Amino acid sequence: LIRTGLGVHEQWMPLAPSQRRPLHWPAVHAPLQFSVSVCSSSYDWDWSCSLGVASGDEGMEGGPSVAHQADGKGWGRLLSETLVKVRRRQPDTTASNPHSTNSKPALLLRVEQLLHSSGTLLILISEKPAGQAPYRIENDTAETLLVHQEGCSAQDAVLPFSRMPFAWDEPLA
């Protein structure tokens, strides 16, 4: 799912794997921001943090001129790449993690914004394996550690003598 707009101007759009879909903002004064979530019959997922839409004159200092072959018809210039965490809404209270009433399994998504040679902005969303998370927290103590990003209520539990792949809930905060 992709969500654009805020409040009364909010729109949700389903996006199937490998599907392409144009995004339109419902009001000209609405912020050019979007969030992503996962649509699953097994779990209920939260929304990611809000991400701003890149413009062609910002991003990665001119961006690599050859970032991807976006659709086989032309190359896209990478404007931004962000890793976002999307969490399940149900807490993980399984026997394997009995100390974690607030910890939620999460997906790490790579969100790339590319400027296509036609002038169209492409937003590519892909799952990034947890083993490729940007950080790893190692707990070498006999106690369970609770970890959270300042200003975010969600937290993760790192069990004694274990490690956990980690990414920020709000990477742009």
Specify the pLDDT at position 91.
53
Mean pLDDT of the 47-70 span:
59
Distances (CA, A) of 167 to 27, 28, 118, 141: 32, 33, 33, 21
- The tokens describing 145, both together, are 């550690």
Spatial CA neighbour of 168 closest among 58, 114, 87:
87
Q: For the full predicted model, state whether its pTM sits above 0.85.
A: no
- Residues 37, 93: contact at Cβ < 8 Å? no
pLDDT confidence tier of residue 144, bands split at 50, 70 and 90: very high
What tokens appear for 160 in the block? 């004694």
pLDDT digits (tens, 9 = 90+) for 72-123: 445 678 888 888 888 887 655 554 544 444 444 788 888 888 887 777 788 8
DSSP code at position 28 = T
